[in-house]
Amino acid sequence: MQTEIASQVILANLKSTSDGPEGPSAVSMNQIRMWLVPQKAEHDHDYDINCNYFEEMLRQAMCNLMAKGYVTSSVHDGVEDGDAQMFSLTQEGARYVEELAVGIEEP
């Protein structure tokens, strides 16, 4: 699975939401899912998205990010699906995203 890529996408999007004028913000699992899971086109009924693959990748990526301390959750019992649980970037996560950005910019 491409959990490292998924983790980087999640961190980058969390960083962009936390850089707003109102300060750090939290997002729901549904919002994070929208960042990662491809959406079917309105008239593309033949396209089959393997939702189980993306759900498992998302679950593993979020568990890894929380275990490393890059992301925090409003519910501290683990990754639960639902709008009540909100996720936000930690200071350590923000530093990691900045380090990744510096590494990409250097030739």
Taking only the tens place, the pLDDT of each residue in 25-62 is 788 888 999 888 887 777 766 767 777 888 899 999 99
Report DSSP state, residue 40.
Answer: P
Does the pTM exceed 0.85? no
Per-residue confidence band for 67, with pLDDT thresholds at 50, 70 and 90: very high
Q: E strands, 1-107, where?
A: 27-28, 71-73, 86-89
Q: Which residue's entry shows tokens 């990748």?
A: 57
Q: How many CB atoms lie within 10 A of CB 106?
A: 6
Q: Return the ∠ at Cα 38 (arms to 3 and 55), rounded to 5°.
A: 45
**Mean of the pLDDT values across residues 82-88?**
74
Q: Are 18 and 89 in contact (CB under 8 A)?
A: yes
